[in-house]
A and B are shown apart, each in its own frame.
Chain A
Amino acid sequence: MVLFSGDNLRCFRGERTVFANLSFCCPGGGALLLRGPNGTGKSTLLRLMAGLLKAENGTIAWDGADIADEPEDHNGRLHYVGHADAVKPVLTVTENISFWAALRPQQAQISDALAAFGIDYLADVPGRFLSAGQKRRVTLARIIASPARIWLLDEPTTALDAGAIVDLQREIARHRANGGMVIASTHAEIGLADAEILNLDAFQLTEQAA
């Protein structure tokens, strides 16, 4: 069983310790839900897991190997959904998704991905005509189009309507059934009722300790 884990992490942002002594562990098929008030470092932790940020202390490991050793290998097994949608206004929905899929070695299933989020009718529409919710659906279709083991979702439900959230729940369940792992920060219900909850409030340093 593969394991994605972090040990004793500590992160500084702008002269302030965001969190310290944080450890997490996510097995294949597992899910981890990040909770905590705004500013407790949910996004920071997700960027740390993606390898965009470096921890001040501690290591993040895939199957025991530090992810910083082979960053491209780590990138190949993760999908990251951040705050920005990265949808190009002059490219059509299909072109947007197939570009990202083409950067990965696996065979892409673009029409299936569009159908999963009910945007197949938008396939040839340029990005500039999409609403915020439709752009979000395109972003989520991007992560389904080419398979990756780890999904890092930072507030994935922003701008989504109820129907799209149901689609997301179904895709997350299917991803986990295939042995994938989901790590998400969200305040909405996305079918992660059985997920392990990591409350970042517990890892804040008090002023005197910092």
Chain B
Amino acid sequence: MSGFWTIVRRDLKLAQRQGMDSYMVVAFFVIAVVLFPFGVGPEANILARISSGVIWVAALLAAMLSLERLFQIDFEDGSLELMALQPVPLEVVVMAKITAHWLTTGLPLLVATPLLAVFMNLPYEGFWVLVLTLAIGTPSLSLIGAIGAALILGSRRGGVLLSLLILPLYIPVLIFGVSAVDGAISGLSVKAHLLIMAGLLVAALPLCPWAGAGAIRQALET
């Protein structure tokens, strides 16, 4: 367990010293959402209608943006190879890197969400449900994305390939995230949606580090 926190602390320190990365993710998120009023026009009821979907899709693409670098840099400078040769199981290493990724990208997205919800004229009833769905959903995005980030190691044009691999897998999270917010706005119960999202997260927690570690072992063999 101490190995887990050692890696989380190191990745947070790297993110903090390299700066930029998490700011860029949040900046992308904000700009992508801000583009919609320009594109579809400023009518308040249209923005309110599409707000939850737009915020969710933008969050999903923003999370995607930073995933390529999750293992790539450590792979290139030999760190990943050394991490695979420590007494800490590789699955724990992957889980630690996912945790650090969520803390540096998912969490800032979550902080920016209320502001964007106001900006997009999201009805008040959906406000906290949107934040809650993102709080449950973004860890799933980091977890599922880690499989893709591990699979593209050693390939050129990894970023595009990563999107093709991972975006289809994000669809369930997106559907239940958006429909929970829409349900809350129409006054329906959102418990079922939130439980399914929590179920996706619980399933991803053990499976994704395991699959990611497998993919990294493959990449290190070449």
Chain A residues lying within 8 Å of B79, measured Cβ to Cβ, are 86, 88
- Count of A-B contacts judged by CB separation below 8 Å: 67
B82 at the interface (CB under 8 A from A): yes
Asked whether, in the complex, the Cβ of A103 is within 8 Å of the Cβ of B77, the reply is no
Q: Which residue of A lies closest to B81 (CB)?
A: A82
In A13-57, the 8 Å CB interface with B consists of 50-54
| Interface residue total, chain B, C-beta cutoff 8 A | 24
Chain A residues lying within 8 Å of B7, measured Cβ to Cβ, are 103
Asked whether, in the complex, the Cβ of A51 is within 8 Å of the Cβ of B77, the reply is no
Give Cα A72 to B84, complex, Å.
9
B6 at the interface (CB under 8 A from A): yes
Mark each residue of chain B from 1 to 44: 1 if its CB lies under 8 Å from any CB of chain A, else 0.
01100110010011001100000000000000000000000000
Q: How near does chain A come to B21, taking the closest CB pair, in angstroms?
A: 12
Asked whether, in the complex, the Cβ of A103 is within 8 Å of the Cβ of B78, the reply is no
Asked whether, in the complex, the Cβ of B81 is within 8 Å of the Cβ of A91, the reply is no
A187 at the interface (CB under 8 A from B): no
Asked whether, in the complex, the Cβ of B2 is within 8 Å of the Cβ of A102, the reply is yes
Most chain A beta carbons < 10 A, residue from B7, B79, B220 = B79
Binds B, one of A73-81, A113-121, A160-168, A170-178: A73-81
Q: How near does chain A come to B171, taking the closest CB pair, in angstroms?
A: 35
Q: Which residue of A lies closest to B15 (CB)?
A: A90
Asked whether, in the complex, the Cβ of B6 is within 8 Å of the Cβ of A103, the reply is yes
In B154-212, the 8 Å CB interface with A consists of none
A144 at the interface (CB under 8 A from B): no
Q: How near does chain B come to A156, taking the closest CB pair, in angstroms?
A: 14
Chain B residues lying within 8 Å of A50, measured Cβ to Cβ, are 85
Given A99-B10, A103-B3, A72:B87 Cβ within 8 A: yes
Partner of B85, one of A80, A85, A95, A99: A80
Chain A residues lying within 8 Å of B83, measured Cβ to Cβ, are 103
Partner of B86, one of A53, A84, A85, A104: A104
Q: Which residue of B lies closest to A52 (CB)?
A: B220
Asked whether, in the complex, the Cβ of B221 is within 8 Å of the Cβ of A54, the reply is yes
In B74-110, the 8 Å CB interface with A consists of 76-79, 81-89
Chain A residues lying within 8 Å of B17, measured Cβ to Cβ, are 90-91
Asked whether, in the complex, the Cβ of A100 is within 8 Å of the Cβ of B82, the reply is yes
Q: How near does chain A come to B19, taking the closest CB pair, in angstroms?
A: 9
Partner of B77, one of A53, A85, A99, A102: A85
Can you give 15 A-B contacts (C-beta < 8 A)? A72-B87, A73-B87, A75-B84, A76-B87, A82-B78, A83-B78, A84-B76, A84-B77, A85-B77, A90-B14, A99-B10, A100-B82, A104-B86, A104-B87, A105-B87
